[in-house]
Amino acid sequence: MSEVVEVNEKTVRCDGESLCEEKSSSSQGHPAVYLKINQDLRAECPYCGRIFIYKNLSSFFIATN
Ligand SMILES: [Zn+2]
């Protein structure tokens, strides 16, 4: 199961830390990596498989209407 995170920036940082409020005793982080949102408006962390979905569509696309 991949965790899905909504972001507002085209570059996201992931170090594997849990985004949940609950803090487990065992750290399952990984080296910090910076992921770029691709044309599918998402990025996937190669370490933890976390999915980042870009939500700020208004600034990503040029309005056509
Ligand atoms: Zn990660």
The pLDDT, as a whole number, for residue 17 is 83
Residue 62 confidence (pLDDT) above 70: no
Query: Whose structure tokens read 């498989």?
Result: 49
**For the chain, what are the domain ranges?**
4-59
- 10-59: per-residue pLDDT in tens? 999 999 987 655 555 455 789 999 999 999 999 999 999 999 999 976 65
CA of 63 to the centre of ligand 1 (A): 32
Per CATH, the homologous superfamily of domain 4-59 is: q5lls5 like domains (2.60.260.40)
Which residues are close to ligand 1, an ion, with C-beta < 5 A?
A: 14, 16, 45, 47-48, 50
Q: What is the pLDDT of residue 34?
A: 97
List of residues 6+ apart from 31 with CB closer than 8 A: 15, 47
Q: What is the pLDDT of residue 19?
A: 62
Q: What is the CA(12)–ligand 1 centre distance, in A? A: 10
